[in-house]
Amino acid sequence: MNLKFPARALGINPRIIVHSVRGLGQFYANRREFSRQARGRKEWEIGSDWPRPADRYDNSGVANGQYFHQDLYVAQKIHEHGPVRHLDVGSRVDGFVAHVATFRPIDILDIRPLSTTAANISFTQRDLMLEDPSFDACTDSLSCLHTLEHFGLGRYGDPIDYDGYLKGWESLTRMLKAGGRFYFSVPMSRNQRIEFDAHRLFGVPHLLEMIEPHYNILSAAVVDDSGELHRDMNVHSAAGLRSFDVDRGCIIFVLEKL
């Protein structure tokens, strides 16, 4: 029996469990030594233990992977371009949005609620699968990173809609002014598929069908199966039309609206 699916569904990470068990012995040894050193000292009250036995096996941080690369890469592109307004749809708030908010205001839309007092971040709740003409041609710079793949799958409380991503795509296109920049990323695979209810993985040929009637492709970057970023990729090459032979990668476009 494959336990990965029920473990994921319940939010259980087997790797953390294994490392936690592995680290318990060292935790107790460290606790005994620390208690010995603290004996008779009054500067610090010793509170309840908060064991983190798995942390000793982690790296100092994560400097690869889809979200790390796309958030940093696109934030740098926006900084270089310097738009009048930047509007984001659904991207990671504690990654990409935070990066952009360090150097400019950013307006964000999401189907989920958000409460924040952070400077430079303005939020509006909206379902992009529904038409709203008040947002038409409202910005010269737009981003939607690792988001469109979820539309219509119900994961985030949105209505079930097989074509939800196409309705969202139409809304995104209408929001951007002619000549505006669109920073767009989705999961990519040589085997285009839906993994319900997590996401869609797009093939490059289908993405080109969506993109080319509305946009010029200024650049494309790929995060491969090992989590490494490759810039300036040719999506019309033989490799590109095979979705760069990745199974579970990410493609990041910089587009200009026609």
pLDDT per residue, tens digit, the chain (258 aa), is 455 556 666 777 787 788 778 888 899 999 999 999 999 999 999 899 998 888 888 876 677 899 999 999 999 999 999 999 999 999 999 999 999 999 999 999 999 999 999 999 999 999 999 999 999 999 999 999 999 999 999 999 999 999 999 999 999 999 999 999 999 999 999 999 999 999 999 999 999 999 999 999 999 999 999 999 999 999 999 999 999 999 999 999 999 999
Which pTM value belongs to this model?
A: 0.88
CATH superfamily of 66-257: Vaccinia Virus protein VP39 (3.40.50.150)
Burial of 166 (0-12, 13-18, 19+ CB in 10 A): middle
**CA angle, corner 142, sides to 188 and 99, nearest 5?**
85
75 neighbors 68 (Cβ within 8 angstroms): no
| Residue ranges per structural domain of the chain | 4-57, 66-257
**DSSP state at residue 249:** E
Instruction: Return the H-helix or E-strand segment holding 72.
Output: helix 66-81
Q: How high is the pLDDT of residue 26?
A: 92
Q: How high is the pLDDT of residue 17?
A: 83
201 neighbors 193 (Cβ within 8 angstroms): yes
